[in-house]
C-alpha cells in the first residue's frame, strides 16, 4: 500500500518542486492519515525531494534547449560565438594598424 501511495504522490508532483516546509507538512499529514512510522515518513519525504529535484533539472534542461532553439531561429549568437567574433575583430584591427604604419 505504501508503494501505491508513493507512486501516486510522485506522479502527482510532476514538474512541481515542493518547498521543504510544504513537503514536511504533507508528510506529517500523511503520517497521521495513513499511520506511517517516522522512518516511512522520512523515506517518503526523501523520495519526494529527489523526484522534485530531478523534475526541476529536467525542466531546466528543456527550458535551456528551447531558449537555444529560439535564439538560433532569430539569429542571436551565444557567448562562445560572440567571443570568437570579438577575437577576430581584434586581430583585424591589429592588422589594419600594422598596415597603416
Q: What is the mean pLDDT of the chain?
A: 77
Mean pLDDT score, 78-95: 94
| pLDDT, position 15 | 43
Distances (CA, A) of 42 to 19, 23, 45, 47, 52: 15, 10, 5, 9, 15
Number of structural domains the chain divides into: 1
Residues 52, 3: Cα–Cα separation, whole Å: 18
**Strand stretches in 16-94, DSSP E:** none
Q: What is the pLDDT of residues 9-22, one digit of tens each?
A: 565 565 455 566 67
* pTM of the predicted model as reported, rounded to 2 decimal places: 0.48
pLDDT for the residue 86: 96
pLDDT tens-digit map of 47-83:
877 887 887 788 778 888 887 888 788 888 888 999 9
**Where does the pLDDT of residue 1 fall: very low under 50, low under 70, confident under 90, or very high at 90 and above?**
very low
Range of the domain at 61: 2-100
pLDDT band at 94 (very low <50, low <70, confident <90, very high): very high
Amino acid at each position: 500500500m505504501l508503494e501505491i501511495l508513493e507512486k501516486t504522490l510522485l506522479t502527482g508532483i510532476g514538474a512541481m518542486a515542493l518547498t521543504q516546509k510544504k513537503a514536511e507538512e504533507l508528510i506529517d499529514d500523511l503520517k497521521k492519515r495513513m499511520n506511517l512510522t517516522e522512518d516511512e515518513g522520512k523515506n517518503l519525504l526523501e523520495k519526494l525531494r529527489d523526484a522534485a529535484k530531478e523534475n526541476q533539472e529536467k525542466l531546466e534542461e528543456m527550458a535551456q534547449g528551447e531558449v537555444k532553439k529560439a535564439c538560433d531561429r532569430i539569429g542571436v549568437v551565444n557567448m562562445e560565438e560572440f567571443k570568437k567574433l570579438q577575437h577576430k575583430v581584434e586581430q583585424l584591427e591589429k592588422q589594419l594598424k600594422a598596415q597603416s604604419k
